[in-house]
Structure 1
Amino acid sequence: MSDFTAEQARDNLKNVYDPEIGINIVDLGLVYDVDVSDTNDVLVTMTLTSLGCPLGPVIVQEVTSAMSELPNLGDVDVKLVWSPPWSPDMMSEDARDELGIW
């Protein structure tokens, strides 16, 4: 059994913000899945707002850093996927409200 849950790991990702938009990556809908193994390894499956996002490497590094706060953390892997492609429909209601998207 791991020392933390996938939900706790996902909560840590709420501290990672898209630097161009200013909304955290969970509320933006960029995080598709978070898996935690019995040995505390974390796999974050996520996307970016666009395939050519120039700040992608920065966001991936910040995801890894956010996971480092978890107890007895094992390995962290961030898997970028492009299917399904991100769209504003994936944002939380709070994120849409903050950006004025109805």
Structure 2
Amino acid sequence: MAEPKKPKPLKEGATLTDKVIHAIRHVQDPEIPLNVYDLGLIYDVSVDAENNAFVTMTLTAPNCPVADDIVNDVRNHVAALDEIKNVKVDLVFDPPWTKDMMSDAAKLELGLF
């Protein structure tokens, strides 16, 4: 199995939301050698004025055996940012995940093009 690719470094002047997304890109799906962001599992990322982060995400399947681990990894990676006060991760299954939600780079990596 190929080694998961590391995210590119952030550009100077990145917003806090950019930093949160960058942190999430370090969370790998344990079954697919891709990060959860490019895999399309992250539906929304926002940071409020008090630096609380909110992430809405899904999984490739509702009965994923490592669901808690993935959600906790996302929460922990975001919480590790010094600027972030609190992190709330909502796990949703509507809309359901499909391969169409993957980034083009992820599709290319998995040979889906």
Q: Is TM-score (shorter-chain normalized) higher than 0.5?
A: yes
Give the 5 Å matches for 1:54-73. Answer: 54-73=65-84
Aligned-pair RMSD on alpha carbons?
A: 1.1
Query: Match for residue 53 of structure 2?
Result: 42
> SS state of the match for residue 23, structure 2?
helix
SS of 1:43 mapped into structure 2:
strand
Answer yes or no: is 1:15 the counterpart of 2:26.
yes
| 4+ aligned runs moved over 3 Å, structure 1 | none
1:78 paired to 2:89: yes
Confirm or deny that 1:33 pairs with 2:26.
Answer: no
Percent identity over the alignment?
42
Which has the bigger relative contact order, CA under 8 A and spacing at least 6? 1
Unaligned runs of 5+ in 1: none
TM-score after normalising by structure 2: 0.82
Moved more, 66-75 or 83-92: 66-75
Q: CA deviation at 1:53?
A: 0.6
Partner of 2:104: 93
For 2:39 and 2:77, the matched residues in 1 are separated by: 16
* Whole-angstrom distance in 2 between the partners of 1:27 and 1:75: 24
